[in-house]
Amino acid sequence: MRIVICTKETPDTAAKVDVAPDGSVTWGDAPLVINPWDEYAVEEALLLGDRGATATTVVGVGGEDTKEALKHALAMGVEEAILISDPTLVDADTLVTSRVIAQAVRKLDNVGLVMLGKITTDGGSGQTPAQVGWRLGWTILTYVSKIVDIDFSAGTITVERLLEEGKQVIQGKLPAVVSVVKDINEPRYPSFMGIRKASRAEIPVWGAGDLELDGISPKVKWVEIESLPPREGECQILEGETVEEAAGMLADKLIEEKVV
């Protein structure tokens, strides 16, 4: 069975993201990298190779930049990559993106599992995994911190999910869509050979026409984006003759602020 991993390109997490005077989002000299959560999805897909998955395909939706994220996945060991790129997808919301991914998955053969990071670190809302799964009518397992058991021939999967109140163990049938959290594994660094192979890879590009996507339009739009206002005022450093005195002063301040 094939595993499809979905990814996109996002600014490096250390980037200082800002808004330029023309209203566009900038991140200085910081590189665009594979969405950090998706690295865990790639790693988990590769680990499943030992548990009976037979092929891995990474799919990215976006512009030319997205190829770097796809190449990162190839360098880690994914076998093939596909870029889905179309001018009509520039303002895609999750409804559009999930439809594009679902169509791509239908076009690929023998897919047993779709894996994604739990969210993207740009405009991410975290809904894409559930929406892809709901469109396909597959089992949906989000926020997965561990694949407890998977049997590709029997078509069963059991996972541990990280919810607000604790860990849920839940069982489902394949095919499934799985989104992963950071706890699930430790992504490998691409090997030198992997990087060389990825840099030479020819990545096929599918357009909206290839996926029979006509007349889809986003249902939400961003009307404004702004930097957070800088924090006003200075930090008040509390000093005392002793640590106890400084701690006492801090406690008084916090009681005064009515936050304890």
Partner 1 sequence: MSGIWVWIEQHEGKAANVSWEAVGLARTLANNLGEPVTALVFGSNAPALAEEAIRRGADSAVACEDTTLVDYRLEPYAALLSKLVGEAKPSILLVGSTTRGIDVMGALAVDLEAGTIADVVGIEVDGGTIKATTPAYSGKLMATVVHADPGDAPRIFAIRSRAFPLPDGDAGRTGEVKMVEPVLAEDDIVTKAVSFEGTGGEISLTDAGIIVSGGRGVGGPEGYEPLRELCGVLDAALGASRASVDAGWIPYEHQVGQTGKVVAPDLYIACGISGAVQHQAGMRTSKVIVAINKDPEAPIFKLAHYGIVGDLFQVVPALTQAFKKKLG
Q: Is 156 helix (H, G, I), strand (E, B) or coil?
A: strand
Q: Are β-strands 32-34 and 139-151 bridged in parallel, bridged antiparallel, or unpaired?
A: unpaired
**241 interacts with partner 1 by CB under 8 A:** no
Candidates 20, 110, 153, 259: give the one binding partner 1 (CB under 8 A). 259
Whether the CB-CB separation of 43 and 163 falls below 8 Å is answered with no
Kindly state the tokens that stand for 228. Answer: 């957070």
The span from the CA of 132 to the CA of 97, in Å, is 9
Task: Give residues 197-226 in contact with partner 1 (rule: CB under 8 A).
Answer: 217-226
Q: Which H or E run contains 177? A: strand 176-180
Binding mask 18-37 for partner 1 (x = CB under 8 A): xx-----x----------xx
Q: Which conformational region is residue 135 in: left (phi greater than 0), alpha (psi within -120 to 50 degrees), or beta? A: alpha
**Smallest separation, CB 68 to partner 1 (Å):** 18
Q: Is 252 helix (H, G, I), strand (E, B) or coil?
A: helix
Total residues at interface with partner 1 (CB under 8 A): 84
Q: How many CA atoms lie within 13 A of 80 on its CB side?
A: 10
Judged by CB under 8 A, the stretch of 59-67, 155-163, 192-200, 204-212 that binds partner 1 is 155-163
Q: Which residue, 58 or 162, is less far from partner 1 as judged by CB?
A: 162
Q: Which residue, 54 or 217, is less far from partner 1 as judged by CB?
A: 217
Task: Give residues 58-77 in contact with partner 1 (rule: CB under 8 A).
Answer: none
Candidates 183, 196, 204, 209: give the one binding partner 1 (CB under 8 A). 183
Task: Give residues 74-133 in contact with partner 1 (rule: CB under 8 A).
Answer: 93-95, 98, 121-131
Place of tokens 């889905």: 84
Candidates 7, 142, 187, 206: give the one binding partner 1 (CB under 8 A). 142
Whether the CB-CB separation of 84 and 206 falls below 8 Å is answered with yes
Q: Is 68 helix (H, G, I), strand (E, B) or coil?
A: helix
**254 interacts with partner 1 by CB under 8 A:** yes
Candidates 152, 158, 188, 207: give the one binding partner 1 (CB under 8 A). 158
Q: Which residue, 26 or 79, is less far from partner 1 as judged by CB?
A: 26
